[in-house]
Amino acid sequence: MGAPSPAATTTGTLDGRTVLVTGGGTGIGAAIARTFAGAGAVVTVAGRRPDPLADVAEGTDAITAATLDVTDEHAVTTLFADRGPFDIVVANAGAVESAPATRTSLDRWDRLIEVNLTGTFLTLREALRQPSTGWGRLLAIASTAGLVGYPYVAAYCAAKHGTVGLVRALAKEVAGSGVTVNAICPGYTDTPLVERSLDRITEATGRSTDDALAGLLQGNPTGRLVRPEEVAATALWLCGPGSDMVTGQAIAVDGGET
């Protein structure tokens, strides 16, 4: 038997909840938005590119789109003022670039820290500034790069390790308030971001796409990419019934890689 779709098994889980998903136009963010909408939530997807956001929102009244650069403090504040409050906030926006540390410019370092760590901080900080309702779920989509080191992505690893530390600190700050804060750490996931990474590898090395993918997956016991829907299912579990005591965690979704 094939696995049931998230919408088929989760209808009503999040009835009445309002959700913000940054980086919601593609990949993991889009899967989370659709899964949460299928579970009854009203979802805002935010990101820098309007067209992918519109594609995610098309055909459903449960998802609306908002253009947002998570590194712009004023823009983040304005979005919460205009569209909030949100019961659930998923800080998913991110980017990755690869280079040896010796060839990583300060500009590249700053850019990756700003998008992956500062953008997450601004999003979660604004979520915590909302009026308290006694219940809330804050999620940061980190990476296995926030749990272990990988070569040639030092800035990305540093940012994702910082994200895990941020989550653990915030969870302690709000413990007992009804708000939980957790990180999800996917391994290599079947998304446009990984597709671009494969393109860069093949261009730089001359290897085939299959060989490049095998290189990425050599440490994964399952031998395959994570599906975005699997990350979305974990996010839904962290926001659903019975999750109140799960906070300050960095949960790997990686097929046993870490």
Tens digits of residue pLDDT in 131-180? 999 999 999 999 999 999 999 999 999 999 999 999 999 999 999 999 99
Q: What is the pLDDT of residues 214-241, one digit of tens each?
A: 767 777 888 788 899 999 999 999 999 9
Q: Which CATH class is domain 11-189+227-252?
A: alpha beta
pLDDT given at position 133: 94
Name the residues annotated as catalytic: 156
The owner of tokens 């990425």 is 216
Q: Which residues pair with 181 in a beta bridge?
A: 138
pLDDT given at position 158: 98
pLDDT given at position 10: 59
Radius of gyration of the chain measured on its C-alpha atoms: 18
| In 107-200, beta strands by DSSP E | 136-141, 179-186
Is pLDDT of 1 > 60?
no
For the chain, domain boundaries: 11-189+227-252, 191-225
3-state secondary structure (DSSP) of residue 42? strand
Choice between 4 and 179, residue whose per-residue pLDDT is larger: 179
Binning pLDDT at 50, 70 and 90, where does residue 11 land? low
8 Å CB contact between 127 and 80? yes
Q: What is the pLDDT of residues 19-68, one digit of tens each?
A: 999 999 999 999 999 999 999 999 999 999 999 999 999 999 999 999 99
The owner of tokens 């989370």 is 32
Q: What is the pLDDT of residues 61-109, one digit of tens each?
A: 999 999 999 999 999 999 999 999 999 999 999 999 989 999 999 999 9
Q: How many CA atoms lie within 13 A of 137 on its CB side?
A: 27
Binning pLDDT at 50, 70 and 90, where does residue 2 land? very low
Please give the average per-residue pLDDT across 184-194, as a whole number: 84
Residue 42's contacts (CB-CB under 8 Å, 6 or more residues apart) are 17, 18, 19, 62
Is pLDDT of 3 > 50?
no
